[in-house]
Each structure stands twice: as C-alpha cells, then as structure tokens.
Amino acid sequence: MQWLREMWTKEGPGISKNAPKKTGLALFGQTMAREGWEMVKLNILFILAALFIVTIPAAVAATARICLTHVEDRNTYLLRDFCEAFTRYFWRATAWGLGFGAAIGLGAYAVITYAAIARDNVLLVLPLMTAVVVTVFLGVLACHLLVLMVMRNLPALTLLRLAAIASFMRPLPVMAAMLFVAALWLAHILLYPVSVFMPAAFNFSLGMFAIVFSAHRAAETVLDLPPEPTRSDLKPEAGQAKHI
C-alpha cells in the first residue's frame, strides 16, 4: 500500500517564487485544474442554496464571491465564506437580479418578437439588431455589475456607472465567457443522458468562474479610476469659469 501513502507524501515539484505567472487561457486552465474539486463542492452548495428559487440571486452572488477568491488566488473556507456571502449580498443581489432579469427578459422578448416579424418585413431587421445588441449589452453589464458588487461595497449608482464603463471598455472577454456558459449547457443538452452529471458537478460553478475570470481585469481597472470630484472638492472660482 506504499503507493496509497505516497499519493499524499511524495515530494512535489516545488513552486518557484519568481516563476513567470501564467495569463489568459493558460491561467484559466491552471486555476481550474487546481480548484477543480472546490468547484464541484461549490456547485453543490449553489444548487442547495438555489432550491428555494427566490434565493437564486443570492446564491449566484455567493458563488461569484467564492469564484473571485479562486481568481485572486486567495484562501477561502468554502462553506463559511459561501454562507457569509449569501447573507451579506441577499437583498442587493435579489434587487439587481430582479431588475436585470426583467430588463434582459424584456430584451429577449423583443428579439423573439422582431425576429418573427422580420422574416416578412426586412425593415424590421434594424430594430431586431438593436434589440440583440441591447440584450447582449445588458448581459455583459449584469456580469460586470455582479463581479464589482462582490469585489467592493459601493452605492448602487456608482456600481452601475462603473459596470457600464467596464462593459464598454472590455466587453469581449465577458461575451466569450457567456458563450462558454452557453456551450456548457448546450453540451449538457446534446449529450443527455450521459451528461446528466454536468449540472450537478460543475456547470454552475465553472460557468460562474468563467464569468468572474473574464470580468475581473476590467473590474480592477475601473475600481482604480479616481473618484468623481464632489462639489466640495471644486475650488471657489470654479463656478465662475467661462468656456472659451
């Protein structure tokens, strides 16, 4: 049974302090491999927390919070931190979830409706494309807002503003992440019933990890932006300045 003991006690390759850090997809893969088992446990926690349906937004926020610690390579105590995040973000997540849910739902309805009519009337392609762009943008905005919410305690309008800036600045990584999430569910549907384990094992947590990973850099950038000057910051003569 030496092999069983050596599985745990065998010396590893070691981790160099000065090794160049991986970036991009390599970092995504490395983190996924390292935190794989934690993601399975997180997935189960999410399912349990979301069972009551009304708790879905809070469960999403808690999952995002845990995924953030994985992305930032920080230590986390899974159950403790998940429960804390669930209670901390419950009302905020529920409010934003309902708001964005309604907005994206409306956008999806518009897309479906215009798509149906546009087959007969080519002129309606323009509003169709507009609806598609707006709906996708709302999705990207929601992802950035979620990540910003679990990164920093900010007032609602500030959060929305920063999320909008991040969405305009770097929309593509989040869109790629959303496509990845769609691909996960598509694989589950296409490969069913063999893929029945996927939602139970990792679909939710891996999908959330992909979204947090993709939105993280933009979120860090907007959080580093200098705050807007308030009235008290302005010099007294500023009010008398005239545009040339």
Residues near other proteins (CB under 8 A) are 8-15, 17, 34, 73-75, 77
Of 45 and 174, which CB lies nearer to other proteins in the complex structure? Answer: 45
Of 36 and 101, which CB lies nearer to other proteins in the complex structure? Answer: 36
Smallest distance from the beta carbon of 199 to other proteins, in angstroms?
26
Task: Please give the backbone phi and psi of residue 72, each rounded to the nearest 5 degrees, phi first.
Answer: -85, 5
Smallest distance from the beta carbon of 143 to other proteins, in angstroms?
24
Of 73 and 112, which CB lies nearer to other proteins in the complex structure? Answer: 73
Of 9 and 153, which CB lies nearer to other proteins in the complex structure? Answer: 9
Contacts 24+ apart (CB under 8 A), 214-217: 214/143, 214/173, 214/174, 214/176, 214/177, 215/143, 215/144, 215/146, 215/147, 215/166, 215/173, 215/174, 215/177, 216/68, 216/71, 216/72, 216/147, 217/170, 217/173
Q: Supply 216's token pair.
A: 């993280």
Task: Please give the backbone phi and psi of residue 10, each rounded to the nearest 5 degrees, phi first.
Answer: -65, 140
DSSP 47: H
Report helix, strand or coil for 219.
helix
Of 4 and 244, which CB lies nearer to other proteins in the complex structure? Answer: 4
Q: From 21, 44, 79, select the one nearest 206 (Cα to Cα).
A: 44
Smallest distance from the beta carbon of 8 to other proteins, in angstroms?
4
Smallest distance from the beta carbon of 66 to other proteins, in angstroms?
13
Smallest distance from the beta carbon of 56 to other proteins, in angstroms?
28
